[in-house]
Chains A and B, each alone.
Chain A
Amino acid sequence: GEDVEQSLFLSVREGDSSVINCTYTDSSSTYLYWYKQEPGAGLQLLTYIFSNMDMKQDQRLTVLLNKKDKHLSLRIADTQTGDSAIYFCAEMGRDSSYKLIFGSGTRLLVRP
Chain B
Amino acid sequence: DAGITQSPRYKITETGRQVTLMCHQTWSHSYMFWYRQDLGHGLRLIYYSAAADITDKGEVPDGYVVSRSKTENFPLTLESATRSQTSVYFCASRGLAGDNTGELFFGEGSRLTVL
Q: A residues touching B (Cβ–Cβ < 8 Å)?
A: 4, 6, 8, 30-31, 33, 40-45, 48, 88, 92, 96-105
Contacts and interface: CB of A to CB of B under 8 A. Distances in A.
Given A42-B106, A43-B106, A88 B43 contact: yes
Contacts of A44: 106
Contacts, number: 59
Given A42-B106, A43-B106, A45-B104, A99 B42 contact: no
Given A43-B104, A48-B101, A98 B41 contact: no
Contacts of A43: 43, 90, 92, 104, 106
Contacts of B90: 42-43
Q: How large is the interface on B (under 10, 10 to 19, 20 to 34, 35 or more residues)?
A: 20 to 34
A88 B35 CA distance: 14
B25 to A, nearest CB: 12
A45 B107 CA distance: 13
B109 A42 contact: yes
Given A31-B101, A92-B102, A104-B42, A98 B94 contact: yes
A97 B56 contact: yes
B107 A99 contact: no
A41 B35 CA distance: 14
Given A88-B42, A97-B48, A98-B31, 15 more contacts: A4-B42, A6-B42, A31-B101, A31-B102, A33-B103, A41-B109, A42-B109, A43-B104, A45-B101, A45-B104, A48-B101, A88-B43, A97-B56, A98-B94, A104-B41
